[in-house]
Structure 1
């Protein structure tokens, strides 16, 4: 019995060490990819790049994300990760340019950035401090993605710009749920690949920032 208890305790300790390593590597890579995205976004703003064709963006984004998942267990996964996040940052540049050209635009962008950072830190702290398992959010996230994508399609087909307010709010909730879920997966051993964990958190932060920026903009942040 004692040997069995010792074995269980040893395995638990090993899982804890692995989870800590994955979490540390994830946060290090996440910080580097966010910085790289900021550089590529700034380059796009400085070069005056026009907004990318939606079809080209979707092919590029999903193609590179597919590449990341295919190479996540090899050294090439890091290159794929930076290619994906660099592309996403570059595509963000024209959007930032549009907001920065508005009256009060720089303050609006900085507010959205600050809110995004504060939200990420707060949600991560909830998981890391309470150690609660948020695995139950998986179904909510899956359904939420489908509902929001269909809503976006409907808003585009039927020209319903007012619906974008609700969609942006929905993405804020969905992105927050993704941060809780992915962080929980890491510390509870459900995610042991730091590259895939980084990509999941990056996408959540990216969508959270864009959604908050959209909400602040529609709220009159750029009015004269």
Structure 2
């Protein structure tokens, strides 16, 4: 009886911890998305210039390492908002470009936002309802994202529109898979730090939005 009771208690505690991580992740994700959206909207409205690829990469990876180094301390929350705010700043000029260059720019941005939200909700629901852990996807996703990242740099440096388009399609698939993977890790206790979980999901949403926006600009743009 004592063994059975101890097992039940351990499972209950694990379930409570998992629910806490999931709840805190979604709460922080909502706050960071709102903050990033405000920053992006402000930079777009002020027509501020994009910081450029080098500053963007240095800023992103630098702040990402800062988040990882402070994730278990009170500074972790400040680091998360610094990272997501910076990413919002880099997003603003891109949105402004679409609004300025396309007659239906506002519609494209809205469609990209809607598509991003639909994919996130759909993939998250799939991971939650399936009850499975998708840790076997980790290696495939890591390699795929690395390849797509290198290809995106080549597309930008050598100005290859077709390659850039292919990378956007890859990122839509990869980020969709990453949402499923990360949600599964949270549910099954593979990820216990809600700050790190939030950053992963935020980055997937950011990349999803940019990829969908580029695809819509090519296939549904009206300039």
**TM-score of the pair, normalised by structure 2:** 0.96
CA distances 1:166-200 after superposition (whole Å, capped 9, x unpaired): 10000001111110011111010011111000000
Which residue of the partner structure matches residue 29 of structure 1? 28
1:162 counterpart = 2:162: yes
CA deviations 1:142-169 (Å, max 9, x no partner) are 1101211221233244432111111000
CA distance in 2, matches of 1:53, 1:163: 20
Q: Secondary structure at the match of 1:49?
A: coil
Return the offset for 1:21: 0.3
Shift of 1:140: 1.3
User: In the aligned structure 1, how far is the partner of 2:63 from the partner of 2:153?
Assistant: 23
Deviation of 1:206 after TM superposition, in Å, equals: 0.4
Residues 1:121 and 2:121 aligned together:
yes
In the TM superposition, residue 205 of structure 1 has moved relative to its aligned partner by: 0.5
**Runs of 4+ with >3 A deviation:** 156-159
The answer for unaligned runs of 5 or more in structure 2 is none
Q: Where does residue 14 of structure 1 map in the other structure?
A: 13
Q: In structure 2, what is the equivalent of residue 208 of structure 1? A: 208
Deviations 1:100-128 (A, max 9, x none): 11110000100000010011111111111
Alignment of 1:176-215 (within 5 A): 176-215=176-215
What residue is the counterpart of 1:89 in the other structure? 88
For 2:150 and 2:85, locate their aligned partners in 1 and report how far apart those are by CA, in whole Å.
Answer: 27
**Counterpart in the other structure of 2:146:** 146
Q: Which residue of 2 aligns with 1:67?
A: 66
The count of aligned residue pairs is 222
Give the distance between the partners of 1:222 and 1:73, measured in 2 at CA: 44
Distance apart, 1:51 and its partner CA = 1.4
SS in 2 for 1:195: helix
Q: Where does the alignment leave 5 or more consecutive residues of structure 1 unmatched?
A: none
CA distance, structure 2, for counterparts of residue 147 and residue 4 of structure 1: 49
Mapped to 1, the partners of 2:155 and 2:40 lie a distance apart of 27
TM-score normalised by length of structure 1: 0.95
C-alpha separation between the residues in 1 aligned to 2:99 and 2:158?
A: 29
Higher deviation after alignment, 134-143 or 195-204: 134-143
